[in-house]
Amino acid sequence: MSFGWDRAGGDQVAIAQRLANGLPAWPPLKGPTTYRRLRDVSYGWNVCTASYTQAWWAWDDWSRHLDWLALNGVNLALAYTGQERLYADVYADLGVDYAAFANWSNGPAHLTWSRGQSTHGVGGPLPRTFADAQLALAKRILARMRGLGIVPVLPSFQGNVPPALKDLFPEANITVQAPHWTSGAVAWLDAGQEKRAKFPTSKAPISAVFHSFRLIFGRAIISRNGLEAWVLFGERARAEHSR
């Protein structure tokens, strides 16, 4: 049994039902069958899967596919659904309203690339109703993953920011790239440099600004998704998020 791209007609999960009249009967099981993975971790998906395959999935699609992952021994998988609503809430607290965020984000079919500092404003603006629905869906996905023993890999702050933050945080080393190709402006927050040359009296080196944003978003994704102690952190991250 294999799982293909059901939007392109390659879904093989239901092949037995579709071809039942043309196939011999399945042989009866002689007893329980056990398979063991060769490694401790079996990883599911990559960051592009969210847009290539999962952009328009509803709960029934997710539920079936998560069952398939568990059936095939996958115990670690990306859980990126719903993050735009969390980012929007964090940026609203920092002074960027939803309209500005929605125009900066890509639309629903292209979110992988606005998450990854590649393109912005493509296929958008991002509807608030879609962002809200995706966060609600994410909570169901995380609950099912937890029930199946699949550890979710949650997104974290990576320095990708709306260009408007450059004016709101002048002490931060934020680089804004002009619109290119079909994309709007791209901006990122440097994690390890200071702008002492331009702001010699600045009390907030960029590392402190980046650290602050990272903690704010980390706390948001944990609290808004209803996560508890089962979230896995390294010792340093655990200490930071407990502050």
Q: Kindly list the domain boundaries of the chain, sorted by start residue.
A: 41-241
Between residues 7 and 85, which one has the greater pLDDT?
85
Structure confidence at residue 155 as a pLDDT band (50, 70, 90) = confident
SS3 187: strand
In 42-82, alpha helices (H):
49-52, 59-71
For residue 110, what pLDDT is reported?
94
pLDDT tens-digit map of 220-232: 887 776 654 334 4
Question: 28 CB contacts (<8 Å, ≥6 apart)?
Answer: none
CATH homologous superfamily for 41-241? Glycosidases (3.20.20.80)
Question: Do residues 218 and 88 touch, judged by C-beta distance below 8 A?
Answer: no
Nearest Cα to Cα of residue 106 among 118, 128, 124, 91? 124
